[in-house]
Amino acid sequence: MAVLRFSPWIIILAVAMGMSILWVLSTSFVGSGGQLNKEFEQIRKDPLKGPGYPPILAYWISGTGGENNKILRLLKAIYHPRNRYLLHLDADSMDYERKELGLAVQSERLFQAFGNVDVVSKTYAVDRSGSSLVSATLHGAAILLKTRSDWDWFITLSSSDYPIVTQDDLLEAFMGLPRNLNFIEHTSNLGWKEYPRFNKIVIDPSLYMRRNKKFLASKNTRDTPDAFTLFTGSPWMILSRSFAEYCVLSWDNLPRKLLMYFTNVPYAMESYFQTTICNSPSFKNTTVNNDLRFFKWDDPPRLHPISLNNAHFETMISSGAAFARRFEEGDPILHTIDKAILKRTQTGVGIGSWCLSGIQNNITATAQSDPCLTWGNIDVVKTTSSGNNLRKLVSQLVGNGTTDDHCKFP
């Protein structure tokens, strides 16, 4: 048991110290000898930062075996040259799937040009209902912190997610916000979750096995902690760079101590980051109690939201969310979003003002015409009517620089 309790701490501490054994396959380098293709030298540049410029978003996109195409489609739907992307397939994927994903990214002229998409080429087991998902998320944040020094927010997505606004709309909505805000759903009202989630003890074999394994329930129980207050909420979040760095480096020991506790908590991804941020004096007043996601639940709700379809389209768009889930591969609603919102072709990326022949010239993407084959200024964003609801929601949540949604203790 002692080994099980310490294994995630060892994993995350190793990541934070830059000693992870996982490799990153960078698409910034192509050709032999790791040399940058001469064709793209002139357009490769870092996004401009500072007042008046859009933020830079760092995406951690995770999936499992058989989800190459879903991840690639999601990547193209949320692509913007300003942003950073890290893709990961867990241990239920095969070596050839990870290689195919890396080659698919490398073969895209656009990704090659801007060099902002990376693929984790080696993998590890992840139980999405266990604490190994927290470990994987922290590892993703650690890689992005180490390899990319300029991003502002860390966004977690799975292969079942999809954007319902353009990246221009999302970047514009975040442009005037304080960069320390964290969009993280949270509550200290544990309700029915207290006993099955926090008093029961579970073991996550995915922390020490090569293949994904479901967590094992112990007959033992434990008391609810009194050294810190437990919070719970959505496992999907948008975290500030400063808070992500705090969780990875753990300079005041709170994130590490909580990581030890949450090793034996089921669905730890729904509680670890909420409990960490709300018990931290430095970050508890940086929370916005909304994850900017749209879900549709059964009544009564089950463990996972229902799959979305075209019948949910209007409600989904009017919600003001930036992302929605759950989507099945090839579902017609994805084509509806592509056509009505993202203006992306079957193989292209979501349209933005940086597309030289795109929004500026009012060109609509078709199967024969990709408006993002030529590129313009990546430091300018242009909003669309589809992003109005997102802008209204963010404005309501944040208001005039204050929010009533900071952590509330019982």
Write the pLDDT tens digit of every residue in 290-321: 999 998 877 666 667 778 889 889 999 999 99
Write the pLDDT tens digit of every residue in 200-244: 999 888 888 888 888 888 888 999 999 999 999 999 999 999 999
Mean pLDDT, the chain, as a whole number? 84
| Residue 403: predicted pLDDT | 54
| Residue 55: predicted pLDDT | 97
Does 208 fall in a domain?
no
Does 34 fall in a domain?
no
User: Which residues are bridge partners to 57 per DSSP?
Assistant: 153
Say if residue 4's pLDDT is above 70. Answer: no
Crossing angle of the two packed helices 241-249 and 132-147, in degrees rounded to 10: 110
| Rounded distance between C-alpha atoms, residue 75 and residue 176, angstroms | 25
Does 43 fall in a domain?
no
| Residue 330: predicted pLDDT | 85
Say if residue 171's pLDDT is above 50. Answer: yes
Contact 260, 291 (CB under 8 A): no
Contacts of 274 (CB under 8 A, 6+ apart): 184, 185, 186, 231, 232, 233
Task: Look up residue 115 and give its amino acid.
Answer: G
| Residue 15: predicted pLDDT | 36
Number of domains in the chain: 1
Q: What are phi and psi of 392, to 5 degrees?
A: -65, -45
| Rounded distance between C-alpha atoms, residue 321 and residue 40, angstroms | 35
DSSP class of 47: P
Does 210 fall in a domain?
no
User: Which residues are bridge partners to 216 per DSSP?
Assistant: 203
Contact 118, 26 (CB under 8 A): yes
| Residue 43: predicted pLDDT | 53
Say if residue 12's pLDDT is above 80. Answer: no
| Rounded distance between C-alpha atoms, residue 121 and residue 312, angstroms | 36
Residue ranges of alpha helices (H) inside 124-223 are 132-147, 167-175
Does 134 fall in a domain?
yes
Say if residue 245's pLDDT is above 70. Answer: yes
Going by C-alpha positions, the residue among 238, 234, 201 that lies closest to residue 304 is: 234
Helix (H) or strand (E) segment spanning residue 220: strand 216-221
In the predicted model, what is the mean pLDDT of residues 24-29?
A: 36
Task: Look up residue 389 and give its amino acid.
Answer: N
Does 308 fall in a domain?
yes
| Rounded distance between C-alpha atoms, residue 312 and residue 162, angstroms | 14
Q: 259 or 330: whose pLDDT is higher? A: 259
| Rounded distance between C-alpha atoms, residue 400 and residue 307, angstroms | 36
Write the pLDDT tens digit of every residue in 173-205: 999 999 999 999 999 999 888 888 899 999 888
Dihedral-angle region of residue 287 (phi above 0 means left; psi in -120 to 50 means alpha; beta otherwise): beta
Say if residue 366's pLDDT is above 50. Answer: no
Say if residue 14's pLDDT is above 50. Answer: no
Say if residue 5's pLDDT is above 80. Answer: no
Q: What domain range includes position 187?
A: 2-21+50-191+228-398
Q: 362 or 346: whose pLDDT is higher? A: 346
Does 403 fall in a domain?
no
Does 27 fall in a domain?
no
Contact 252, 148 (CB under 8 A): no
Write the pLDDT tens digit of every residue in 50-86: 888 999 999 999 999 999 999 999 999 999 999 999 9
Q: How many helices (H) and strands (E) does the chain have?
A: 12, 13
Say if residue 152's pLDDT is above 90. Answer: yes
In the predicted model, what is the mean pLDDT of residues 105-117?
A: 93
